[in-house]
Chains A and B, each alone.
Chain A
């Protein structure tokens, strides 16, 4: 330190120091790049792997879950497990596969309570508010209810019965005289627990739970649903619109012979 900085020895040591620093910085950069790229590749989650209740978006979850397994230990069912290396799920993170063992929706949510880091959000206190995924009736060709039978199992096992899954009555065109009861999932109530998928009686489930980003469509921001806007405003959005009479097919059962009045419903 006390030596004049122009002495050859100190100039040499400074050069060496700078060279070492540059090498180290390069090494850190290169290694970070490799690890980072690997991480990008390794963090994709297969569609059938669901996170425990309270887990946020996948990127946030991978920043907050320290892979300790306490949620797995406190899960009273064989639902949760930790990903092993060689699996598609990021190593060490908790997940479940609905078809194998669904979330049983414990009222006290022990897995969330067990989480030491808050990766499973401690603000989730009502299990019905959980959002582990969204059930989708993926196969309308094999679902027994859509074939006109009364299976109804997915509807019956749903912990949020008549809210998350309802049976919507439709005419059975094949027989012409029966009804079909179509299992219909309502995304605002479905918790993604997977009991419907688990209990689907088919060899391969016709209803499945997917992570919400995979399961849900999104309507364009610019779309305006006329009937909703009209209800919000309490009247037609355009004043003084000329409402022409609606015409129906000749032999429609709604056709009383004359055209219907212009006001509609």
Chain B
């Protein structure tokens, strides 16, 4: 790794730049398309007849027909003492089912606008080899998630939504940028100088919420060809949650299956991109038979979770 300048160098040599960045490009395209659709829908009404996407990430409407609502927000609302009307509940059910299929934190890597901000920060941290700074425990976000819900319960209002930088940023981008850039800047600087991957990886309660969903979601990254691994460590270097890789990539001896089961994995696909040996690929969680299997499925799940925790 000494002669290299960045993770994915070998993959670029082996597969070309485009192939070594395909999931990154797909993610950026999805993130920007979602923003663009929220913004451009009124202009497209002459062609589509309806707004393609209306509202914001907390609740929206596709083509005036399909409601989507954020279950994290609705849970706060419920604890604050309001049972949402049917439309929002249907919307939340659709969102829950969707992310239960594509991976809980796929929200973080493919949808959340803050991802672009924190990725930019992480890129700079890597580029200039900055210190990783303060690293609170990974479970911190779960405690913050608990705090958010407790506060809603006690105050009777959605207190977190007065602070939530994710929804504030997205709303600002869609409804007119006022001071929202300050929120993006704050998170950017926090990730840059205080704590590497500090927001998404350690604090964000929304990510923690979708991470819980990710513990059961269907589509997962699998280190299916892990025997081809040449220990270049590029996947660890690029991964926003590197601890999720170990059980799957190194678990063959312990009889652990190759699928990354940790809910922390955002299904961003960058490990797939940067691996010159094509170790990783998207798969479903049930395709988790260890090649040198001596254990039954249940044991594997348990030991994987223990590794991830």
**Which residues on A are within 8 Å of B, measured CB to CB?**
24, 27-28, 31-32, 35-36, 38-40, 42-43, 59-60, 62-64, 66-70, 72-73, 81-82, 84-86, 90-92, 115-119, 122
Contact partner of A117 (CB less than 8 A), chosen from B82, B144, B146, is B82
Shortest Cβ distance from A125 into chain B, in angstroms? Answer: 15
Tell me which residues across on chain A come within 8 A of B77, comparing CB atoms.
Answer: 63-64, 66, 117
B180 adjacent to chain A (CB < 8 Å): yes
Q: List 11 A-B contacts (CB under 8 A).
A: A35-B151, A39-B157, A43-B157, A62-B80, A68-B69, A69-B56, A70-B61, A115-B85, A116-B61, A116-B87, A117-B85
Tell me which residues across on chain B come within 8 A of A68, comparing CB atoms.
Answer: 55-56, 58-60, 69
Q: Per DSSP, are chain B's interface residues mostly helix, strand or loop, or mixed?
A: helix
B154 touches A36 (CB 8 A): yes
Please, which residue of chain A has its CB at the minimum distance from the CB of B67? A116
Q: Which of B165-173, B190-198, B226-234, B247-255 lines the interface with chain A?
A: B165-173
The CA-CA distance from A117 to B70 in the complex, in Å, is 11
Given A92-B167, A92-B168, are A69 and B85 neighbors across the interface (CB < 8 Å)?
no
Given A31-B147, A35-B160, A67-B161, are A116 and B171 neighbors across the interface (CB < 8 Å)?
no
Contact partner of A38 (CB less than 8 A), chosen from B73, B159, B182, is B159
Given A63-B80, A64-B82, A119-B82, are A85 and B168 neighbors across the interface (CB < 8 Å)?
yes
**Which residues on B are within 8 Å of A, measured CB to CB?**
51, 54-56, 58-61, 67, 69-70, 73-74, 77, 80-82, 84-85, 87-88, 91, 139, 143-144, 146-148, 150-152, 154-163, 167-168, 171-172, 174-176, 178-180, 182-183
Shortest Cβ distance from A176 into chain B, in angstroms? Answer: 55
Please, which residue of chain A has its CB at the minimum distance from the CB of B81? A63
A66 touches B61 (CB 8 A): no
Since A28-B147, A116-B59 are in contact, a sample of 17 more A-B pairs with Cβ atoms closer than 8 Å, ordered by chain A residue number, is: A28-B143, A38-B162, A38-B163, A42-B162, A43-B157, A66-B74, A67-B171, A68-B55, A68-B58, A68-B59, A69-B56, A69-B175, A81-B175, A92-B167, A116-B88, A117-B59, A117-B85
A86 touches B87 (CB 8 A): no
Please, which residue of chain A has its CB at the minimum distance from the CB of B61? A70
The CA-CA distance from A219 to B162 in the complex, in Å, is 36
Max chain B Cβ within 10 angstroms of own Cβ: one of A39, A68, A122: A68
Tell me which residues across on chain B come within 8 A of A28, comparing CB atoms.
Answer: 143, 146-147, 150
Tell me which residues across on chain B come within 8 A of A32, comparing CB atoms.
Answer: 147, 150-151, 154
Given A28-B150, A39-B151, are A64 and B175 neighbors across the interface (CB < 8 Å)?
no
The CA-CA distance from A107 to B60 in the complex, in Å, is 24
Given A38-B162, A43-B162, are A84 and B85 neighbors across the interface (CB < 8 Å)?
no
Shortest Cβ distance from B158 into chain A, in angstroms? Answer: 6
Please, which residue of chain B has its CB at the minimum distance from the CB of A30? B147
The CA-CA distance from A155 to B154 in the complex, in Å, is 45
Tell me which residues across on chain B come within 8 A of A91, comparing CB atoms.
Answer: 161-162, 168
The CA-CA distance from A42 to B155 in the complex, in Å, is 12
The CA-CA distance from A86 to B162 in the complex, in Å, is 11
Q: Nearest 8 A-B pairs (CB), nearest first?
A: A118-B85, A39-B159, A68-B59, A84-B178, A63-B80, A64-B82, A62-B157, A116-B88
B171 touches A86 (CB 8 A): no
Please, which residue of chain A has its CB at the minimum distance from the CB of B57? A68
A70 touches B55 (CB 8 A): yes
Tell me which residues across on chain A come within 8 A of B161, comparing CB atoms.
Answer: 66-67, 91-92
Tell me which residues across on chain B come within 8 A of A69, comparing CB atoms.
Answer: 55-56, 171, 174-175
B80 touches A116 (CB 8 A): no
